[in-house]
Amino acid sequence: MSSPHELINYVEIPAKDLAATKAFFEACFNWKFTDYGPEYTAFDKAAGLDGGFYQSEKSSTTVNGAALVVFHSNDLEATQAKVQACGGQVVQEIFAFPGGRRFHFTEPSGNEFAVWSDKEPV
C-alpha cells in the first residue's frame, strides 16, 4: 500500500537515552517499538503517527525552536498524573488557550511534548 500523497508520513525525534525514552512511552502510552540497530527505534501508528527516535546528544524543545508534538486527552488531569508517574517532568502546568487547555512535559531524554484537551475538568 502506498502512502498518502503530500501528507505528513513520519516524524523523527532525537533521544539522549533510547532505552529510557522507549521505557517511558511503553509505560505511559503503551507504544510498541521496533529497533533498527543500537541507535534507532521506530514506533507505529498506534502512537497516532509513524515515527522513530534516533540517538543524539540534542533534545527537541520549544525554547530551541523545535516543532512541538501534541497529544490529545479526554482527561487532561489524569494524563498529567500518568505522565508524572511514568517519569515525565511537567515543564508547563495546565493552562487555558482558545479552544481548550494543555500542559507541556519532557520525557527522560529531555524532549518536550504537550497534551491538550477540549474537555473541562470533571
Q: Is the pLDDT of residue 3 over 80?
A: no
Mean pLDDT for 19-44 is 96
Mean pLDDT over 50-77 rounds to 96
| pTM for the model | 0.93
Q: Say what the pLDDT of residue 1 is.
A: 61
Task: Record the cell numbers describing residue 30, joined without a space.
Answer: 503503551
Q: Is the pLDDT of residue 71 over 90?
A: yes
pLDDT, residue 38, reads 96
For residue 27, which amino acid is it?
A: A
**What is the model's pLDDT at position 84?**
98
- Structural domains in the chain, sorted by start: 11-117 (3.10.180.10)
pLDDT in tens, 52-65: 999 999 999 999 99
